[in-house]
């Protein structure tokens, strides 16, 4: 750990200790209150109109879960408040832009490609490769984090602002970059888009809010995908798209709503032995929650997330079976890692497109620049997260058999 990180951790510890003292006196600072958050967003932007998005229920349920479930440290409360205000700011900017340019609503989103699968099955790697093709349009992190970017200056300014915010996150949870790469110019997941109307698994991934997540998973996801569609129109109006390539394991939770909004979508599903991934995805949630909570139990988190992802996978496959097989492409993680460019060619054939020489060269440069484990090896075990190999093997046996997934030892990777 660097001296800067040591100093930061000491400062964070002092801040949280001060917060504990105030909490003992009945004061939780800063306040996480719907009215106060909206007031702050309106003050920052000078705007009033959020549009007609029905965000009241998800927003209030999320805030209630932060109060009842999350056990936030003072730093956690600061982070949550800043995140929620930023998301409200984006809604205000997007509504302003749509009123200023009504033609945004005419932007057609045609046959978008969605990459999904269980976490840690190569979705990020495949998405990163396909981002290198200029013919593919992806939502970049800086575009999603600051949707009203032109209100704050040019794109380079917003990229720097985004990288500064991400560097802060890296310092608070330095293990995270070994699990999942982040950067202003890297493609962003769709859950960060739908989070802006408070309809996303992102919140339970970063903080312990099971009461919100239970409500979210049991409900209809049309709000999130309606906003997702409008957000793509906004980005496409700024820079045109030959084809959209999108990504999120979270789409496993809502294939029915995705296809209702995008009936011509093409779905790429990645596959890997679940025992190679369940502890890893629990580890990701634990690293994030530990950074902002008084309590983060790795075994409870492991059991919770494995149950949720197993249920989401089963629901996804049930909905998938109701749609034409040619709308889906299955990709093996092992083949993707062993022969990435050949695998990408399969995806292009599925899209009805051709991989150009320029795109191939750029993808090879990407492979050279981002070798596996560039930021260190991510180590974990099933037992560390309260998971039993035999029980998990039985849980996912039908899935592995259906897709002929090679079974490996339950070790990190």
Choice between 92 and 185, residue whose per-residue pLDDT is larger: 92
Q: Mean pLDDT across the stretch 280-302?
A: 87
The residue to which tokens 């000078």 are assigned: 46
Residue 120 and residue 89 share a domain: no
Output the pLDDT for position 163: 82
- The residue among 363, 162, 355 whose CA lies nearest residue 243 is 355
- pLDDT confidence of residue 102: 94
Instruction: Kindly state whether residue 234 falls inside one of the protein's structural domains.
Output: yes
Are the CB atoms for 271 and 404 separated by under 8 Å?
Answer: no
How large is the average pLDDT for residues 146-173? 72
Answer whether residue 376 shows pLDDT above 60.
Answer: no
Domain-located, residue 173: no
Q: What's the rounded mean pLDDT across residues 21-29?
A: 49
pLDDT at 380: 66
Does a structural domain hold residue 147?
no
* Residue 6 burial (C-beta neighbours within 10 Å; 0-12, 13-18, 19+): exposed
Do 218 and 253 belong to one domain? yes
The answer to whether the beta carbons of residues 387 and 281 sit under 8 Å apart is no
- What is the predicted pLDDT for the residue at 10? 43
State how many domains the chain has.
2
Q: pLDDT band at residue 58, thresholds of 50, 70 and 90?
A: very high
CATH number at residue 213: 3.40.50.300
Asked whether residue 240 falls in the same domain as residue 389, the answer is yes
114 & 34 share domain: no
Cα dist. 80→59, 61, 220 in Å?
A: 13, 14, 25
In terms of C-beta density within 10 A (0-12 exposed, 13-18 middle, 19 or more buried), how is residue 14 classed? exposed
Residues 201 and 313 in one domain: yes
**Residues 56 and 114 both lie in one domain:** no
Per-chain mean pLDDT for the chain: 87
Does one domain contain both 49 and 108?
no
Q: What is the pLDDT of residue 295?
A: 85
In this structure, the answer to whether residues 50 and 124 fall within a common structural domain is no
Q: Is residue 151 part of a domain?
A: no
User: Are residues 49 and 126 both part of a single domain?
Assistant: no
Q: Is 365 exposed, middle or buried (0-12, 13-18, 19+ CB in 10 A)?
A: exposed
| pLDDT tops 70 at residue 59 | yes
Residue 131: is its pLDDT beyond 90? yes
Read off the pLDDT of each residue in 115-119 and give the average, rounded to a whole number: 97
The answer to whether 146 and 156 are in contact (CB under 8 A) is: no
In a domain, 150, yes or no: no
Structural domain contains residue 339? yes
Stretch 353-367: mean pLDDT = 96
Residue range 379-389, pLDDT digits in tens: 568 888 999 99
User: Is residue 202 assigned to a domain?
Assistant: yes
Same domain membership, residue 135 and residue 4: no
Q: Is 97 exposed, middle or buried (0-12, 13-18, 19+ CB in 10 A)?
A: middle
What is the per-residue pLDDT for 296?
Answer: 86
Q: 108 and 81: one domain?
A: no
pLDDT at 147 over 60: yes
Same domain flag for 84 and 215: no
Confidence of residue 173 (pLDDT cuts 50, 70, 90): low
Last residue of a domain, one of 51, 77, 100: 100
This prediction's pTM: 0.89
Asked if residue 178 is part of any domain, the answer here is no
171 compared with 75, residue with greater pLDDT: 75
Structural domain containing residue 368: 104-139+187-402
């Amino acid at each position: 750990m660097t001296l800067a990180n040591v100093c930061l951790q000491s400062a964070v510890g002092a801040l949280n200790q001060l917060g504990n003292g105030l909490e003992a006196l009945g004061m939780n600072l800063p306040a996480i209150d719907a009215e106060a958050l909206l007031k702050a967003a309106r003050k920052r932007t000078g705007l009033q109109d959020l549009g007609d998005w029905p965000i009241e229920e998800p927003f209030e349920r999320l805030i209630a879960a932060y109060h009842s479930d999350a056990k936030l440290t003072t730093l956690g409360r600061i982070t949550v408040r800043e995140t929620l205000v930023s998301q409200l700011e984006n809604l205000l900017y997007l509504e302003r832009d749509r009123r200023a340019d009504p033609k945004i609503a005419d932007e057609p989103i045609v046959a978008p490609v969605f990459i999904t699968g269980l976490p840690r099955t190569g979705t990020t790697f495949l998405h990163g490769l396909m981002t290198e093709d200029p013919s593919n349009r992806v939502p970049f992190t800086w575009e999603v984090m600051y949707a009203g970017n032109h209100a704050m200056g040019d794109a380079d300014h917003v990229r720097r602002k985004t990288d500064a915010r991400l560097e802060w996150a890296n310092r608070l949870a330095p293990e995270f970059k070994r699990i999942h790469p982040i950067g202003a110019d890297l493609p962003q997941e769709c859950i960060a888009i739908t989070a802006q109307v408070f309809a996303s698994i992102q919140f339970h991934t970063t903080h312990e809010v099971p009461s919100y997540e239970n409500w979210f998973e049991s409900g209809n996801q049309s709000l999130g995908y309606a906003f997702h569609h409008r957000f793509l129109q906004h980005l496409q109006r700024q820079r045109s798209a030959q084809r959209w390539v999108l990504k999120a394991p979270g789409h496993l939770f809502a294939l029915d709503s995705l296809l209702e909004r995008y009936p011509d979508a093409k779905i790429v599903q990645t596959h890997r032995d679940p025992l190679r991934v369940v502890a890893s995805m629990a580890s990701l949630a634990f690293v994030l929650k530990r950074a902002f909570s008084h309590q983060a139990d790795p075994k409870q988190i492991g059991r919770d997330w494995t149950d949720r992802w197993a249920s989401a996978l089963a629901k996804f496959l049930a909905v998938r079976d109701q749609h034409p097989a040619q709308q889906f492409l299955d990709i093996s993680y092992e083949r993707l890692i062993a022969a990435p460019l050949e695998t990408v060619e399969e995806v292009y054939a599925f899209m009805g497109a051709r991989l150009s020489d320029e795109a191939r060269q750029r993808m090879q440069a990407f492979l050279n620049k981002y070798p596996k484990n560039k930021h260190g090896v991510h180590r974990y075990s099933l037992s560390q997260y309260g998971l039993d190999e035999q029980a998990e093997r039985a849980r996912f046996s039908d899935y592995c058999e259906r897709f002929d997934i090679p079974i490996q030892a339950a070790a990190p990777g």
